[in-house]
């Protein structure tokens, strides 16, 4: 399959709630393959289907750039089962907001359940960057963006840059 254009902030597709995957058919396999190619080319850590204009509950993570033991993980119909009360402040970026990085508070730990490409359900308890990436990508499936998680102060500070992103896209 192929690399696809990444949707940039301002495009309403990023604000839609994605539909569950009914069946892991060829269409879904192709989607995951496109997400993988697109993520590799963009050198990102994670990518959600709506970022390539597919309103499906699918995202992938590839944390191998920061953790050599990590491999590509596919999350189909993910459910957040638990988040820790403890929060962590970690800098995030998003391929739909090129060049924008901001420290954001989110739960430090997360437990997620999802289906893999073979149709097997799995559960994962994560912390650190993995937890952060899961929460960030999961938000995309709900039409929520990382700017929504910033303090209103940070958002105000970034207003000019956000406007520019919208204009360019
Ligand atoms: Zn993102």
**Domain ranges within the chain, ordered by starting residue:** 12-168
Q: What is the mean pLDDT of residues 86-106?
A: 96
Instruction: Report the separation in Å between the CA atom of 38 and the middle of ligand 1, taken as the mean of its atom positions.
Output: 13
User: Is 12-168 assigned to CATH 3.90.45.10?
Assistant: yes
**Mean residue pLDDT across the chain:** 95
What pLDDT, on a 0 to 100 scale, did the predictor assign at position 70? 85
Residue 60 CA to ligand 1 center (angstroms) comes to 11
pLDDT of 169 reads 62
- In the set 22, 79, 86, 137, the catalytic residue is 137
Expressed in angstroms and rounded, the spacing between residue 26 Cα and the centre of ligand 1 is 25
- 23 is known as an active-site residue: no
Sign for the CA dihedral angle at 124, 126, 132, 133 comes to negative
Place of tokens 């997360």: 110
pTM: 0.95
Mean pLDDT of 139-152: 96
Summarised one tens digit per residue, pLDDT across range 7-61 is 999 999 999 999 999 999 999 999 999 999 999 999 999 999 999 999 999 999 9
Residues near ligand 1 ion, CB 5 Å cutoff:
94
Distance 44 CA to ligand 1 centre (A): 9
Question: Residue 17's Cα: distance from chain center in Å?
Answer: 13
Buried-state track 78-89, b at ≥16 Cβ within 10 A, e below 16:
beeeebeeeebe
Q: Which residues partner with 87 through β-bridges? A: 107
* Look-up of token digits 């998680």: 149
């Amino acid at each position: 399959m192929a690399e696809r254009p990444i949707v940039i902030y301002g495009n309403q597709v990023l604000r839609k709630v994605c539909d569950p995957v009914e069946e892991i058919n060829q269409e879904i396999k192709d989607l995951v393959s496109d997400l993988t190619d697109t993520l590799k080319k963009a050198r990102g850590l994670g990518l959600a289907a709506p970022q390539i204009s597919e309103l499906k509950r699918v995202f992938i993570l590839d944390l191998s750039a920061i953790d050599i033991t990590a491999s590509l993980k596919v999350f189909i119909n993910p459910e957040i089962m638990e988040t820790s009360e403890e929060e962590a402040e970690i800098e995030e970026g998003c391929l739909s907001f090129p060049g924008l990085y901001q420290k954001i508070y989110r739960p430090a730990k997360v437990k997620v359940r999802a289906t893999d490409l073979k149709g097997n359900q799995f559960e994962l308890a994560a912390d650190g960057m993995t937890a952060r990436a899961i929460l960030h990508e999961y938000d995309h499936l709900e039409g929520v963006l990382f700017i929504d998680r910033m303090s209103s102060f940070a958002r105000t500070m970034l207003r000019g840059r956000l406007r520019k992103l919208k204009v360019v896209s």
